[in-house]
Amino acid sequence: MKKTVIFLLILLVAQTAKAQLFSKERILNRANIDQKTLSWGYYLGFNNYDYYFDYKEQNQGDNTDILVTGETGFNVGLLGNLRISNYFDLRLEPGLSFTKRNLVFPGFTDPKDNLREVKATYIHIPLLLKVSTKRLNNIKPFLIGGFSTSFNLASNEDNPEDNATGTFRSTSSNFSYELGFGIDIYLYYFKFTPSIRGVFGLNDQLVRDKNPNSGWTKNIEKMTSRGVFINFTIQ
């Protein structure tokens, strides 16, 4: 699903760019929309999260890695844009992200022990710098990057139960950096922007089990989130 959506997004961007670069049509849609100092919009999109683990001990040849499979989730949120110049914008994109990850732990044979379904609801607040090219007819490609904080409403951080009773716990407050690219497409009534970016966690998000010899958490040095966002924005 994720690969299909990414392929369709790239195809859309390529076809739009080709049409705008080689079309003889020169009428500019929404010619002054980028001159506003402050503007707003909203976005909908998809996400796919997983976890990256650093281990205290890694035995060569042994299957000791935790297997993580992410399921496609969705994003919804608002956009606030501050124009700095013709090529630079500062953006705040608060929103909600819903996702699910499945963790399979080695060393267990019983499904109730080796599988943890980890659902997450993030209040996601990124502050991003958008660096654009010169507008080409009715398109404008850009790069985007910055930092974000997120609050996981389903983290179980304060839950007294742990993996011994089937509860996987993570931190509620997390910090990340983000990098991506997109393309502004100027339509007759509004500006439509497909974009894709990676989200890379910075802090250790694992809440360890109370038992220091826990088979689920004892060998984990650090656990961070990684994700891919595909958003469609309207301004």
Q: Are 140 and 134 in contact (CB under 8 A)?
A: yes
Residues 80, 82, 85: CA angle, nearest 5 degrees: 150
> What average pLDDT does the chain have?
88
In this predicted model, which residue has the larger pLDDT, 198 or 27?
A: 198
State yes or no: pLDDT of 48 exceeds 60.
Answer: yes
47 band by pLDDT with thresholds 50, 70 and 90: very high
Q: Are 193 and 175 in contact (CB under 8 A)?
A: no
Radius of gyration of the chain (CA): 21
State yes or no: pLDDT of 115 exceeds 50.
Answer: yes
State yes or no: pLDDT of 13 exceeds 90.
Answer: no
Expressed as residue numbers, the domain containing 172 is 2-234
205 band by pLDDT with thresholds 50, 70 and 90: very high
What was the pLDDT predicted at 5?
A: 47
**Cβ of 173: how many Cβ atoms within 10 Å?**
12
83 band by pLDDT with thresholds 50, 70 and 90: very high
In this predicted model, which residue has the larger pLDDT, 108 or 214?
A: 214
CATH number for 102? 2.40.160.20
28 band by pLDDT with thresholds 50, 70 and 90: confident
* Per-residue pLDDT tens digits for 54-77: 998 776 555 678 999 989 999 999
What was the pLDDT predicted at 111?
A: 79
State yes or no: pLDDT of 190 exceeds 50.
Answer: yes
Counting residues of the chain whose pLDDT is more than 90, the rounded percentage is: 74
Average pLDDT over residues 208-226: 93
Number of domains in the chain: 1
pTM of the model: 0.83
